[in-house]
């Protein structure tokens, strides 16, 4: 449970927001299927990439095995945050905000994800694993998926990190940025005072 404080709260997603866990998932699916698929610059993809690999499976092989990557206990052990994520979130924390991570987990990788966050974001105020992120009271939310951003009502300011993945729902957002430098620009435009 997150301790209440007098500080404002910034809820931050993990996958494709502060770290690329999808690239290693593609590598995993290539390995188990024998494919040689690569994400291409400028292309848009569905978040569920298993459909791309489905035709590489033989006979009765279960497409669910492609999700086994997310069930591994060490998924985040050797990953590195996106450039600028640690510095920008650290600056937001220094400006008096509680940085709370909210993320979905599958299988046994929750400890790996938690220790990844503790290691790289020691200033984090909390970490919540849930699909229902909108139940966290927040002043700002930073996520890559409209599906989760829409769970937060106004006056929460929704900031979307753009990715090469298609959105399932349309949603007006407060700001749409391409990377953590874009979030940093919001800081200097007067946000996060």
Question: Tokens at residue 49, please?
Answer: 């990439």
The model's pTM: 0.91
pLDDT 10s digits, 148-181 = 999 998 889 999 999 999 998 988 878 999 999 9
Q: What is the pLDDT of residue 133?
A: 96
Whether residue 153 is preceded by a cis peptide bond, meaning omega within 30 degrees of 0, is no
Contacts of residue 70, Cβ cutoff 8 Å, sequence gap at least 6: 25, 105, 106, 107, 109
């Amino acid at each position: 449970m997150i301790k209440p404080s007098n500080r404002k709260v910034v809820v931050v997603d993990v996958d494709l927001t502060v770290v690329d866990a999808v690239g290693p998932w593609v590598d995993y699916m290539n390995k188990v299927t024998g494919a040689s698929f690569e994400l291409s610059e400028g292309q848009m993809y569905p978040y569920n990439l298993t459909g791309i690999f489905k035709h590489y499976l033989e006979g009765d092989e279960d497409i669910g095995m492609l999700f086994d990557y997310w069930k591994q206990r060490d998924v985040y052990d050797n990953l590195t945050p996106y450039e600028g994520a640690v510095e920008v979130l650290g600056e937001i924390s220094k400006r008096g905000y509680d940085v709370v991570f909210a993320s979905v987990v599958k299988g046994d990788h929750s400890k790996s994800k938690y220790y990844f966050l503790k290691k790289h974001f020691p200033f984090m105020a909390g970490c919540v694993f849930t699909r229902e992120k909108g139940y966290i009271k927040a002043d700002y939310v930073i996520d890559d998926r409209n599906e989760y951003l829409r769970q937060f009502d106004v006056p929460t300011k929704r900031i979307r990190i753009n990715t090469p993945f298609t959105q399932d729902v349309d949603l007006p957002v407060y700001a749409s940025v391409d990377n953590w430098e874009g979030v940093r620009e919001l800081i200097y435009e007067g946000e996060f005072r």
